[in-house]
């Protein structure tokens, strides 16, 4: 499912002394079956934008088109439940929202709440646990006995159990070690390849953006200041430095090498691209590089 923003503004607490315009004239399209990464400094409006993806917040100006449902400031909250089911949001540190006495009950909560029988919900929970790579034996355990990475999988399985078409993730790998990070990101790639999901994530991990995103949106003070493929966004290393935004380590390294006279036709994004490019550079210079 695609989601389109047309001249969207969002103002917190309008007409009060706390009024704050957090989104300013946002127009963009999240394509169906794509992975979109939203980056930007703290306070730039990323979470506010995410909450428009399932009408948790409604724009104070402009329109958000979720699939073919138009959401404006006038949209009533009444008929939004089915729409919210289509767009699952995994908030930051979702493991903090786990509550049930067993992993299975936690994952099954959503489907049961939406009218499935306990048996049906339990079947869904088992399937989702498998999908996110949780071993069957953890289903009967307390979620609070699990590792950080496993708890996060339980929370993600709980959102997936609602069978959303769009999966929205606010910093899904925050606080995980490199292995946990890689496992969670690979899970999203697997989900996207097997289930045709549209994925939107906010992240401060530029390696994740380089490795997994199709489209990058850069936000600053409530506006989109740049967007495009990771390659086009990260190619402008000087601009990103100026904005004090991180650059993938491989791109940063190539940028530094370029200053020392090594020329790259395009900056490598990932470690394997960097290794290939360096091997090429050495070959061109008639040297071999191990």
| The only residue of 8, 36, 48, 90 in contact with ligand ATP, by rule CB under 6 A | 48
Q: Could you tell me the smallest distance in angstroms from the CB atom of residue 99 to ligand ATP?
A: 23
Q: How far is CA 48 from CA 8, 70, 82, 125, 202, in A?
A: 11, 18, 21, 30, 11
Q: Could you tell me the smallest distance in angstroms from the CB atom of residue 137 to ligand ATP?
A: 35
Rounded-to-integer distance, Cα 202 and Cα 216, Å: 10
Burial of 23 (0-12, 13-18, 19+ CB in 10 A): buried
47 binds ligand ATP (CB under 6 A): yes
Instruction: Considering only the stretches 42-50, 121-129, 230-238, 265-273, report the one whose residues sit in contact with ligand ATP under the rule CB under 6 A.
Output: 42-50
Rounded-to-integer distance, Cα 90 and Cα 55, Å: 15
Exposure b/e, 271-285, CB count within 10 A at least 16 = b: eebbeebbeebeeee
Nearer to ligand ATP, 23 or 129 (CB): 23
Query: What token pair was written down for 141?
Result: 């355990």
60 binds ligand ATP (CB under 6 A): no
58 binds ligand ATP (CB under 6 A): no
Nearer to ligand ATP, 42 or 287 (CB): 42
42 binds ligand ATP (CB under 6 A): yes
Q: Could you tell me the smallest distance in angstroms from the CB atom of residue 170 to ligand ATP?
A: 7
Which residues within the stretch 3-22 sit at the binding site for ligand ATP (CB under 6 A)?
A: 12-13, 18, 20, 22
Q: How far is CA 126 from CA 98, 180, 193, 227, in A?
A: 17, 22, 21, 39
Q: Which residues bind ligand ATP (CB under 6 A)?
A: 12-13, 18, 20, 22, 40, 42-48
């Amino acid at each position: 499912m695609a989601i389109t923003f047309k001249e969207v503004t969002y103002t917190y607490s309008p007409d009060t002394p706390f009024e704050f315009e957090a989104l300013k004239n946002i127009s963009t399209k999240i394509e169906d079956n794509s992975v979109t990464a939203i980056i930007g400094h703290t306070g730039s409006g990323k979470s506010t934008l995410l909450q428009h993806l399932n009408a948790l917040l409604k724009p104070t100006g402009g329109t958000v088109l979720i699939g073919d449902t138009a959401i404006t400031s006038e949209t009533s909250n009444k008929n939004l439940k089915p729409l919210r089911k289509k767009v699952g949001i995994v908030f930051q540190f979702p493991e903090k929202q786990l509550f049930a006495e067993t992993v299975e009950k936690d994952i099954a909560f959503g489907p049961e709440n939406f009218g499935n029988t306990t048996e049906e919900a339990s079947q869904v929970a088992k399937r989702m646990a498998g999908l996110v790579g949780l071993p069957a034996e953890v289903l009967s355990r307390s979620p609070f006995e699990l590792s950080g990475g496993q708890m996060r999988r339980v929370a993600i399985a709980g959102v997936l159990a609602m069978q959303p078409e769009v999966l929205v993730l606010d910093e899904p790998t925050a606080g995980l070690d490199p292995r946990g990070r890689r496992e969670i990101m690979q899970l999203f790639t697997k989900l996207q390849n097997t289930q045709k999901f549209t994925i939107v994530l906010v992240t401060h991990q530029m390696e994740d953006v380089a490795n997994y995103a199709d489209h990058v949106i850069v936000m600053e003070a409530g506006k989109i200041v740049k967007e495009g493929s990771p390659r086009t966004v990260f190619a402008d290393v000087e601009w990103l430095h100026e904005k004090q935004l991180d650059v993938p380590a491989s791109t940063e390294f190539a940028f530094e090498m370029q200053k020392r006279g090594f020329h790259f036709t395009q900056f490598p994004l990932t470690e394997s691209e960097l290794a290939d490019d360096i091997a090429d550079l050495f070959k061109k210079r008639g040297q071999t590089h191990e």
